[in-house]
Structures are given as structure tokens and as C-alpha cells.
């Protein structure tokens, strides 16, 4: 495949914060950026050279993006596959629609993992209440019922703690007849992730293993390197590499995993795009995940994914009062050593919405996390649950 050089225009499907950060890196490296998003003031459109403002299912918008772009990449995995196939007939799309067909469907995702020798939780397909009852009888309780498609940041799922809960769980997740998946409940001691890049030439490079904490189904923080054994870290990287190669990804693949109480590393889910848990790479690695995505889709040599210093990232969320970051303790945050602030340009704050993130570096993972928490504490609107240890500067 030919190399796409600076001066070319990169199209992005999606205008959120991931597209924004990709656009910033692409423009820094001399590329033009065209964003396709329904919102005229989307985070990515604010920093792009041009934008196609139209619904994602609009075929004319797809053709317009193709006319403006030398290649197209993605910032979210739920883009319409049929529309992307039409787009792919006009301009290279990386990663391609075939990868999204797997990533958008939890059953296909789990089936692909098994085919590639990647451990997962036990699972069953569910189409009806009878299917669900049979699946619970086979897998046991507790188990997690999820929609096969859709759902994000903990939405579209329910925990079944007793077989008698099956009917109520089904009603809460989706109408009967919706395609669902029941997964065995994994008792885990840690959630981890790896962001892996694969270029048009087949070159692969994986960033370090991140240790993640979720709150309310949404990522709260990531610490790198993950505080796991060398064997667990090696297995996590093996899994990520097996998936990025086996699925023929060109671009990035983020792989979320559980480290079980039994010591087994199991894939939870994948996303063929930059990932929230990879934001630390801005400050902590020679290239960010966004530059790595650009290099991969353009056919350029991949950059070093080595960790320069231990790092941590904490998300900044909209608060219940709707005031978000309007009362930021910016001065206090800036006084935290190595802390860096990234805001996404979102005009409206609401509960559960990612408004930005902070990162910090340290001599070790513990110090990096403590610094990131202190920076977050200064900025966040609701930090009642935070307990900070004495400072280690």
C-alpha cells in the first residue's frame, strides 16, 4: 500500500474528543483533517480544517467526506457498517468495516477471540426468556446479561445474581426478541487494557499495560505500568497482539481485559480506535496513541511505544448541577508537579459526560496516581469519595 504523506487530508468519522485529539496530532504533523459529525460545534470540528455536518446514516455525507479525503479513519466503533462499505468503495477506510462488524457485536467479538486462542468469560447467545433461563442454568449465577449490540460505559446490561432474576433482567435490558449475550460473572482482582497499533505493512506495536478503575461503568482512572506480575503483563500483550493481527486491523485496537481471581487474563471487549485508557501516552510515551493511529493508517513506520515515565490519567466528568468545570481550581491543579490538563471543548456539561482528563507522571505508578488524583481533586466538581494519601513530591 502507498504511504500517505503530510499535506494529504485525513477524514474522521465521528467528532468527539478522540477525533479532536487525533486531529490535533494530524495537523501538528502537517496533515489536513475533515470531520464528519452531526454537530457543527463538535469537539473535533472545532480543531479540524473542514467538516461535513450531517447524520451518520446520510449516504451523500459519506460521498462528500470521500471527495474531501485521501483516506478515512474512525474515532468510534459504532459507525454504520453499511455506510462505511459505501465509503470504502470511494476511499481507503482504516480500520475497515469488517473489523467493526466484529467490534459492534459482542457474540462475534467473543467468537473471534475464541478462534484466535484468546480466553474470555463463558457465554451463551440469548434471544428469548427461555434461552436466558437455559443459559443461566448452564453458566450459573451470578452472570451478566448484555445486548449483543450497543451499550457503552456500562449501559445495556444487568447482573443476574439468582436464576429467579432472569425475567426482570431481560425486561430491564431490552424487549424480548432482542439479540443478547449472557456472560459468566468474572471475579477479578484488576481491570487492565492494552492499546495496540498495526500499520498497513503489518508492523505491530503495543503500548504498556494499563491498570484501570471504573466507577458506575465509566472509566475513572488508568495507571501505567499496571501493577501486575511480568507474566500477566506478557499475557495481556500477547492477547492484544493476537487480536490486532487476527482481525487484520489497520489502525489501533484497544483491548480491555480482566485479571481473574484465578490468575487468568480474559478479554472483556475491544474497540478499534483510540481509547480513554491510552490518554496518558500524550505525556508518557515518545508518541501518543493518536500519532500512532495516524502513522498506522498512513503506512508510516510506527513510533516507539515505550514508557518514558510511570503515568496516571483521571477523567473529568460533568457534575449533577450541570456546571461541570466552571468552578475549576485551575491554580491548585497547575501546582501539582507534572500534572497536565486536557479539556475537550464541550459546551454542555451533564452527569456522566466526559469533559476532559488530567495526567501526571511520577517516579513510580503510585506517585503518578497520587499526583493525578490531586490534580483531579482540584478540578472536579464532586470529589466527596476521594481519599488522598499524604503527598509524595
Annotated binding residues for ATP, written as ranges, equal 106, 146, 151-157, 183-186, 191, 214, 268-269
B/e letters for 169-192, b = 16+ CB within 10 Å, e = fewer, are: bbeebbeeebebbbbbbbebebbb
**Cell numbers found for residue 237:** 500483550
* CA-closest candidate to residue 240, choices 201, 285, 209: 209
DSSP letter (8 states) at residue 165:
G
Residue 75 burial (10 A CB sphere; 0-12, 13-18, 19+): buried
Residue 38 burial (10 A CB sphere; 0-12, 13-18, 19+): middle
Give the CA distances from residue 10 to residues 45, 222, 280, in Å, rounded to whole numbers and listed in that order: 13, 29, 24
Q: Write the CB contacts of 347 (distance below 8 Å, at least 6 apart in sequence).
A: 41
B/e letters for 86-105, b = 16+ CB within 10 Å, e = fewer, are: ebbeebbbbbbbebbebbbb
**Backbone φ, ψ for residue 103 (5° rounding):** -65, -25
Placement of cell 506478557 in the chain:
234
Annotated binding site: 106, 146, 151-157, 183-186, 191, 214, 268-269
Amino acid at each position: 500500500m502507498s504511504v500517505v504523506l503530510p499535506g494529504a487530508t485525513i477524514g474522521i468519522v465521528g467528532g468527539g474528543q478522540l477525533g479532536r485529539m487525533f486531529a490535533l496530532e494530524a495537523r501538528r504533523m502537517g496533515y489536513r483533517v475533515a470531520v464528519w459529525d452531526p454537530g457543527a460545534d463538535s469537539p473535533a470540528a472545532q480543531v479540524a480544517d473542514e467538516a461535513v455536518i450531517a447524520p451518520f446514516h446520510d449516504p451523500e455525507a459519506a460521498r462528500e467526506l470521500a471527495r474531501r479525503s485521501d483516506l478515512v479513519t474512525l474515532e468510534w466503533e459504532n459507525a454504520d457498517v453499511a455506510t462505511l462499505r459505501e465509503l470504502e468503495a470511494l476511499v481507503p477506510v482504516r480500520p475497515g468495516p469488517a473489523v467493526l462488524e466484529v467490534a459492534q457485536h459482542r457474540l462475534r467479538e467473543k467468537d473471534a477471540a475464541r478462534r484466535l486462542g484468546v480466553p474470555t468469560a463463558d457465554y451463551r447467545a440469548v434471544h428469548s426468556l427461555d434461552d436466558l433461563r437455559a443459559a443461566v442454568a448452564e453458566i450459573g449465577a451470578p452472570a451478566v446479561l448484555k445486548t449483543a449490540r450497543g451499550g457503552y460505559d456500562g449501559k445495556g446490561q444487568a447482573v443476574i445474581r439468582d436464576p429467579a432474576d432472569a425475567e426482570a433482567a431481560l425486561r430491564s435490558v431490552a424487549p424480548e426478541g432482542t439479540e443478547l449475550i449472557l456472560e459468566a460473572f468474572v471475579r477479578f482482582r484488576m481491570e487492565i487494557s492494552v492499546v495496540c497499533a498495526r500499520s498497513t505493512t503489518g508492523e505491530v506495536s503495543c503500548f504498556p499495560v494499563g491498570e484501570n478503575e471504573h466507577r458506575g461503568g465509566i472509566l475513572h482512572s488508568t495507571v501505567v505500568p499496571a501493577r501486575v506480575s511480568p507474566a500477566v503483563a506478557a499475557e495481556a500483550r500477547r492477547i492484544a497482539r493476537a487480536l490486532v493481527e487476527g482481525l487484520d486491523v489497520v489502525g489501533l485496537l484497544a483491548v480491555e481485559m480482566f485479571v481473574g481471581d484465578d490468575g487468568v487474563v480474559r478479554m472483556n471487549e475491544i474497540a478499534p480506535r483510540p481509547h480513554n485508557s491510552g490518554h496518558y501516552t500524550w505525556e508518557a510515551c515518545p508518541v501518543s496513541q493518536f500519532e500512532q493511529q495516524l502513522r498506522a493508517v498512513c503506512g508510516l513506520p510506527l513510533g516507539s511505544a515505550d514508557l518514558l515515565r510511570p503515568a496516571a490519567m483521571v477523567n473529568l466528568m460533568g457534575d449533577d448541577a450541570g456546571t461541570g468545570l466552571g468552578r475549576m481550581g485551575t491554580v491548585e491543579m497547575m501546582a501539582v508537579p507534572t500534572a497536565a490538563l486536557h479539556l475537550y471543548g464541550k459546551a454542555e456539561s451533564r452527569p456522566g459526560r466526559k469533559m476532559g482528563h488530567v495526567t501526571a507522571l511520577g517516579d513510580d505508578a503510585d506517585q503518578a496516581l497520587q499526583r493525578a488524583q490531586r490534580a483531579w481533586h482540584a478540578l472536579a466538581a464532586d470529589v466527596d469519595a476521594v481519599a488522598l494519601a499524604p503527598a509524595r513530591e
